[in-house]
Chain A
């Protein structure tokens, strides 16, 4: 465990987990964060994960890849992952450097993320369409 204040807080909010990254993480910390988060998804039987990166002004390729990996692992464990609060500069940097964001789902901020998770899921698109 890294000494000092926590760099990431993982909070439970109903069926969702909300992870706020407070400061830039190095590769080791990023990997630790990934393991913690995945473990907690199982423990709380969460259906959705929101990762808030609003405090970050840099997202390097490793972090981007880790976020994508988290999304894929979480999906396998039955939770949807959404990244929220990507800053404009960060968004453009990610795209400019050609880092693949593939299956990453994104929303503007925490509130949007929650609305998104509450909305019709990718597992039941047909039901959602029928309900409309």
Chain B
């Protein structure tokens, strides 16, 4: 607090002296550029409450950030404002970057859009610029120089915030993609040495590659002899993917496991025959139930209903 007052005093002292000087020498190269930013910062600190309120009002009137409660808005706008001024003062965007990333992490799950974040930062830039216009309206040369110092810094801040937000968003998207990918090809042991792979959703070549990798590793870890791949949930198969499936079946055979494919839809079956994929090596059975029964037969299991249990 005392530090702030101190700073304000010295800064306002500088301001009057430099203002006087620049008034005296007209538009000449009067005051040092280095003095302008501290002066600017002091001004923004001095009118912090007023400017912050003005900014919050403009955010509200533009209908941005409706996902936040007024209290949250006050808290966040205050921190953004302080961070903003700090960057102007120190020229270092690292703290702001950290803050922006942290803020993004909090607001992305609540559906805040990129245009809102950018809009808010640009609004703050405008509000501050307006206040500078007002302050220096009588000294055009001074205003020009102040804006020269202010604009690059302000643009850099807007850039930093936007980039941090987008980065964070992309990180979230990547993370979600990874988890979808991991979930999407589970390799499930159902009996000793019997695995099933239910595949749901579109099989693109990336997923097919992953499927192969997980299947072959699964065969080794579970010491599987029979694998049932169920593609009931796959809407469509193209030639490349069908080819990949055939290779996967071949590779599984090299590892000593036989593969049964179940749940080929009529459309897929027709496509496969039309595009002429060599399916002679593929063992296919209509549905998962049939596939499991065949697999159990291959492994020598026989499933019987217990005596004590009444039928359905």
Chain A positions near chain B (C-beta within 8 angstroms): 83-84, 86-89, 91-92, 94-96, 101, 104, 106-109, 112
Contact = CB atoms under 8 A, between A and B. Distances in A.
A11 to B, nearest CB: 21
Given A91-B216, A106-B255, 16 more contacts: A83-B254, A86-B255, A87-B220, A88-B216, A91-B252, A91-B254, A94-B254, A95-B248, A95-B250, A106-B254, A107-B256, A108-B220, A108-B224, A108-B225, A108-B256, A112-B256
A93 B156 CA distance: 50
A106 B223 CA distance: 13
B212 interface: yes
Contact of B251 (A88, A104, A112): A88
Contacts of A91: 216, 251-252, 254-255
Nearest to B209: A92
A100 to B, nearest CB: 10
A106 B247 CA distance: 16
Contacts of A106: 253-256
**Interface of B: prevailing SS:** helix
A109 B254 CA distance: 11
Contacts of B57: none
Contacts of B250: 95, 101
A101 B256 contact: no
Contact of A95 (B219, B225, B247): B247
B175 interface: no
Given A101-B250, A108-B223, A92 B257 contact: no
Contacts of B60: none
A88 B213 CA distance: 7
Given A91-B251, A92-B247, A95-B247, A84 B219 contact: no
B137 interface: no
